[in-house]
Structure formats: structure tokens, C-alpha cells
């Protein structure tokens, strides 16, 4: 996993609540056996119509908007456990997803892929969604803050200390778990 650094970027607003994993990446695209290339079909059925033509007013098809920070309505990522949802968002080029509420499994999946879920208050979320498209936002993981650069308005966000260290250093849980295999064996023995 790549280490997470501070991100300053314009945002892509998606003011929709309950964005579920079937919208992020529909099941018919889950047949792949690698993690790459899912970005192409991110939000597939909102982005393209039945004939495959881009839907004009969907935000990802609007050339005026771009950035590494996706800002979405509350209860983002609900539904299935498919990690493909996090892979598609990361593969598309987003580094941060901001919402006022994330579904549990999605949040874990994002963190496991170096994609940072940032929880903000409803009021701050509204501010972000209403920004001018040229405004930039800075997400500083070390300081655990998200700032609207133009106005300096800022909020802190919570993250588990262990996960933060992992992200900042690009470690992953598997390296850690492999390193404690002997302790796990001792635990197994103790249960017999």
C-alpha cells in the first residue's frame, strides 16, 4: 500500500444519500479476478445510459469538475461487502471520500486500500457540497483536519490510531498479522 500524504485538491460533489455499492459498481462488473481497471465502471449506471453513451448531467461526465476528493451524501457505501467498490473509487483516482456517515464495511474496505474516508458534520458537508467548482480543500491526515482553503473553515475528523499509523506509513494489516502468527498459535493451543 502507498503511504498517504496530505491531499489538496478540488472536489467532486455527489449530493446523493445512501449511495450503495451496487451504484458504485454494479454486480455485473464483479467477474474480474484482479483489482485493476474498476475505475472505468465506477457509477456505471449513473454515468452511462443503456446504449453506453455518457449521461450528460452526471458529475463524472462534467469536464468542469475534477479532483481527488469525492464528497457524497450521508450513508455512503451501504449494501454489499464488495471491496470492488473501494477499488473502483481508488482506481478512478480519488484519494479521499468525504461524507457525514459511512457504512461500516465500506469504511474498512476503503482504509485497507489507502482510500481515506473522512466523516464530517452535516453542516460542513453542506458547505463542501456548495463550494465553487474551483475551490480547493485540504485533507491533512497527520493533523486529522479537513480545510476549505479559500475560507480557512476547518473540521477535525476521527480515525483509529492504529489505522492512521498504517496509512501514514503505507503498512497494511496483513504484514502485522503475519508477524504475530506465533502468538496466534499460542492462542490456539490455549483453547484446546
Partner 1 sequence: MGKSLFDKIWDKHVVKSIPDGPEVLYIDCHLIHEVTSPQAFKGIENRGVSLFRPKQILATADHNVPTLNQHLPIKDELSRKQVQMLSDNCARHGVELYGLGHRYQGIVHVIGPELGVTQPGMTMVCGDSHTSTHGAFGAIAFGIGTSEVEMVFASQCLLQSHPKLMRISVEGELSKGVVAKDIILYIIAQLTSGGATGYFVEFAGSAIRALSMEARMTICNMSIEMGARGGMIAPDETTFAYMKGRPFAPQGTEWDRKVAEWKELYSDGDAIFDEEIFIDAAAIEPMITYGTNPGLGIGVTGSVPALDKVPDENEKKVIAKALQYMGLEAGKPLLDMPVQHVFIGSCTNSRIEDLRMVAGVIKGRHKHDGVNVMIVPGSQQVAAQIVEEGLDKVFEAAGFVIRQAGCSACLGMNEDKVPAGEYCVSTSNRNFEGRQGAGARTLLASPLTAAAAALTGKVTDVRELI
Sites of contact with partner 1 (CB under 8 A): 16-18, 20, 22-23, 26-28, 30-35, 45, 50, 73-75, 78-84, 86, 101, 103-105, 108-109, 112-113, 160-163, 172-174, 176-178, 180-181, 183-184, 187-188, 191
The CB-of-142 to partner 1 minimum distance in angstroms stands at 15
The CB-of-81 to partner 1 minimum distance in angstroms stands at 4
* Burial of 119 per CB tally in 10 Å (0-12, 13-18, 19+): buried
For 176, residues 6+ apart whose C-beta sits below 8 A from its C-beta are none
Closest to partner 1 by CB, 32 vs 168, is: 32
The CB-of-70 to partner 1 minimum distance in angstroms stands at 18
The CB-of-136 to partner 1 minimum distance in angstroms stands at 26
Closest to partner 1 by CB, 7 vs 90, is: 90
The CB-of-162 to partner 1 minimum distance in angstroms stands at 3
**What is the edge-to-edge ordering of all strands in the sheet holding 96-99?**
116-119, 96-99, 69-72, 7-14, 136-140, 145-148, 154-156
Question: Are the beta carbons of 119 and 102 closer than 8 angstroms?
Answer: yes
Closest to partner 1 by CB, 2 vs 28, is: 28
H/E element, 7: strand 7-14
Residue 180 grid coordinates: 504475530
| Residue recorded with cell 496509512 | 167
Closest to partner 1 by CB, 11 vs 24, is: 24
Closest to partner 1 by CB, 137 vs 166, is: 166
For the CA atoms of 103, 108, 110, 111, what is the dihedral angle to 10 degrees? 140
Amino acid at each position: 500500500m502507498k503511504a498517504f500524504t496530505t491531499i489538496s485538491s478540488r472536489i467532486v460533489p455527489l449530493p446523493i444519500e445512501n449511495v450503495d455499492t451496487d451504484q458504485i459498481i454494479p454486480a455485473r462488473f464483479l467477474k474480474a479476478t484482479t483489482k485493476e481497471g474498476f475505475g472505468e465502471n465506477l457509477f456505471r449506471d449513473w454515468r452511462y445510459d443503456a446504449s453506453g453513451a455518457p449521461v450528460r448531467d452526471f458529475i463524472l461526465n462534467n469536464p468542469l469538475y475534477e479532483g481527488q476528493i469525492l464528497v457524497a451524501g450521508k450513508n455512503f457505501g451501504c449494501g454489499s461487502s464488495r471491496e470492488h467498490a473501494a477499488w473502483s473509487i481508488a482506481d478512478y483516482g480519488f484519494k479521499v471520500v468525504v461524507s457525514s456517515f459511512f457504512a461500516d464495511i465500506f469504511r474498512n474496505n476503503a482504509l485497507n486500500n489507502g482510500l481515506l474516508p473522512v466523516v464530517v458534520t452535516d453542516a460542513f458537508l453542506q458547505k463542501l457540497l456548495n463550494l465553487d467548482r474551483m475551490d480547493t480543500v485540504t485533507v491533512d491526515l497527520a493533523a486529522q483536519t479537513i480545510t476549505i482553503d479559500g475560507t480557512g473553515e476547518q473540521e477535525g475528523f476521527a480515525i483509529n490510531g492504529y489505522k492512521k499509523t498504517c496509512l501514514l506509513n503505507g503498512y497494511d494489516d496483513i504484514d502485522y498479522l503475519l508477524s504475530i502468527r506465533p502468538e496466534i498459535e499460542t492462542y490456539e493451543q490455549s483453547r484446546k
